[in-house]
Amino acid sequence: MNTAGHSKATAPRGLELTPFRGLRYDPDRVGSLAAVTSPPYDVVVRPDGLHHLQSADPHNIVRLILPEAATPEERNAQAAETLRRWRAEGVLTPDPEPGLYVYEQRDGDGLVQRGVIGALRVSEPDERLVLPHEDVMPHIVADRADLMRATSANLEPLLLTYRGDDTAAGTAGLIERTAGRPPLLATTTEDRVHHRLWPVTDPADLAVIREELSAHQALIADGHHRWATYRRLRAEHPSPSPWDHGLVLLVDTARYPLRVRAIHRLLHGLPVAEALKALGGIFRVRRLDPPLPKAMDALAEAAQESNAFLLTGDDGVFHLVDRPDPALLDRTVPADRPEAWRTLDATVLHTTLLDHVWRVPDDPAHIAYIHDTAATVDKARRDGGTAVLMHPVHEDVVRELARQGVTMPRKSTSFGPKPASGLVLRALDL
């Protein structure tokens, strides 16, 4: 019986992270744990990346989170059948008892991130417990909801953050002690990130986490569409039900600050020459020669003084675009929002450049959102579109806007490191 969502107790005032029986790969049934993992579904944006993961191991998690078939209905049915078969064959097996999971990621640059994976009670926006900072696209929410319904599973955790008190007590101390024990699993993925996972099943330890989180609210760092999907599915199923909870990783950024990176835009069908021509007299435009890292350094410097973007396309060079005309911003940026929102690069890009200057609709036929900088540049140069490279927003700005209930333009930020998909799943029938 699933332990999440079967209590009629009064909803707590804070976050409620519930133990669950994790569904995990049997290491003896797969080539390696690293070969069956994947980045989150929305990071695997290119077919070559998807096919690379599929070829890494026949049981790679992308066959569940990004199934390939002719129609959406066939894709979802295929994912459901694949999950059913893998469970029947023992490729994926449930842990013996419910628990939370301490999860660690460590890279070669010295970054260590630790957090707790569990089934979080899905709350309503007016509870102000889980704060979004970006808007979502309805068709993506509908797509994820269809997949979750078909599989009756949470296939990958979304990433939430909260701010602890930066002491070694409570949950932080428990995480540190747990990380000193032999892990349940350990693997190193292709990006050279080391992953380790430990179960937390002791009632006293679970009580420590439950009590601390009940005093906190969380910020969605990565997974806005999946959180919106959790809310949609919870509304569809009478409570109590397993859909009352959704799989998340919670990270205390007082102890483990996340990296915040930008998400870049690729404008299909807008050659960079046309994009630049439209900017005459309303932005300063300066040509920069390669290499890319040097151009990105120039973007970072310019972003300290004004809104700034780096454009490139099939011309093979970079164009630093900054210092927008203040009168143009006054005409195009809504005045009924906080100053921190009005001055965001993403706000100016969407409300001023895309809507008014370039007149590019914000839909998949016209804009692709890509996390990898070099991949964005390469695709623009091959396809003849315009790459718009962005500078990241500071986490404090994101959190403060979220607390004010103000959402940023979608795909404004990329928090990381993101949890690897495939290390632990949540099947709703366990």
At position 145, the amino acid (one-letter code) is: A
Pairing outcome for strands 308-312 and 318-322: antiparallel
Give me the pLDDT at residue 119, please: 98
Give me the pLDDT at residue 54, please: 66
Of the candidates 9, 14, 7, the residue with the CA atom closest to the CA atom of residue 250:
14
CA 269, CA 210: separation in Å to the nearest integer? 51
Asked if residue 12 has a cis previous peptide bond (ω within 30° of 0), the answer is: no
Looking at the DSSP assignment, which residues form a beta bridge with residue 283?
none
Q: Do 16 and 162 contact (CB within 8 A), yes or no?
A: no
Give me the pLDDT at residue 26, please: 97
Q: How many helices (H) and strands (E) does the chain have?
A: 15, 21
* Reduced 3-state DSSP string for 376-428: HHHHHHHHCCEEEECCCCCHHHHHHHHHCCCCECCCCCEEECCCCECCCEEEC
Of the candidates 273, 220, 227, 272, the residue with the CA atom closest to the CA atom of residue 251:
220
Residue 286: strand, helix, or coil: strand
Give me the pLDDT at residue 8, please: 40
Give me the pLDDT at residue 264, please: 96
Measure CA 256 to chain center.
17
Q: Do 153 and 83 contact (CB within 8 A), yes or no?
A: yes
Q: Do 121 and 18 contact (CB within 8 A), yes or no?
A: yes
Give me the pLDDT at residue 52, please: 66
DSSP codes joined into one string, 186-214: EEE-TTS-EEEEEEE--HHHHHHHHHHHT
At position 172, the amino acid (one-letter code) is: A
Q: Do 229 and 148 contact (CB within 8 A), yes or no?
A: yes
Give me the pLDDT at residue 22, please: 98
Of the candidates 290, 293, 297, the residue with the CA atom closest to the CA atom of residue 318:
290
pTM of the predicted model as reported, rounded to 2 decimal places: 0.82
Question: What is the full per-residue pLDDT of the chain (430 aa) written as tens digits?
Answer: 444 444 444 444 699 999 999 999 999 999 899 999 998 877 765 555 666 666 678 999 999 999 989 999 999 999 999 999 999 999 999 999 999 999 999 998 888 999 999 999 999 999 999 999 888 889 999 999 999 999 999 999 999 999 888 777 799 999 999 999 999 999 999 889 999 999 999 999 999 999 999 999 999 999 999 999 999 999 999 999 999 999 999 999 989 988 888 999 999 999 999 999 999 999 999 999 899 999 999 999 999 999 999 999 999 999 999 999 999 999 999 999 999 999 999 999 999 999 999 999 999 899 999 988 999 999 999 999 999 999 998 878 888 888 888 888 878 888 888 999 999 999 999 9
Angle at 126 between CA 121 and CA 127, to 5 degrees: 40
Give me the pLDDT at residue 7, please: 40
Burial of 114 (0-12, 13-18, 19+ CB in 10 A): buried
Of the candidates 135, 128, 100, 96, the residue with the CA atom closest to the CA atom of residue 114:
100
At position 280, the amino acid (one-letter code) is: G
Of the candidates 22, 41, 312, 56, the residue with the CA atom closest to the CA atom of residue 184:
22
Would you say the C-alpha torsion 359, 388, 38, 107 has a positive or negative sign? negative
CA 206, CA 241: separation in Å to the nearest integer? 21
* Count of beta carbons in the 10 Å neighbourhood of residue 417: 20
Would you say the C-alpha torsion 55, 56, 58, 60 has a positive or negative sign? negative
What distances in angstroms separate CA 411 from CA 67, 162, 312, one per listed residue? Answer: 23, 20, 20
Angle at 24 between CA 12 and CA 228, to 5 degrees: 45
